[in-house]
Homo-oligomer: A and B are copies of this chain.
Amino acid sequence: MSSKKINLKKKFAMFDKHWSPRVIAEMNDYQFKIAKIKGEFVWHNHKHTDETFIVMEGKMSIKFRDGEVKLNEGEMFVVPKGVDHKPCAEKECKILVVEPRGVINTGEAGGKYTMTEDIWI
């Protein structure tokens, strides 16, 4: 087996930067990314794909134009494609994101948080 097992806690210990997702695995053309988030992200959407958030540690909320979803540890949410959303976390929160390879974290919104290349850990 060329694949290796992935320990999420060990991967989270490898970086500190907020809103800077790291790719930890690929399944077909989909990626598993982990991120540490704190504060407010930018409003954005992904025109061509849904996006899955799973809270591994802490709490986050996802704001929508018509409301908000609050997620605790062990909860997940699939943001449908094309829907404006804004992830937020009062305190640092650790999340697992699943989405197709090539998805830009800020959609077409741009800005300082935009990741233009994958960072694998």
Q: List residues of chain A with CB under 8 Å of any chain B CB.
A: 1-9, 25-28, 30, 32, 49-52, 64, 66-67, 69-72, 74-81, 83, 98-100
Contact = CB atoms under 8 A, between A and B. Distances in A.
A2 B98 CA distance: 19
A1 B69 contact: yes
B69 A27 contact: no
A100 B28 contact: yes
A79 B3 contact: yes
10 contacts: A1-B67, A1-B69, A5-B71, A5-B76, A8-B74, A27-B50, A27-B52, A30-B30, A32-B52, A32-B76
A106 to B, nearest CB: 19
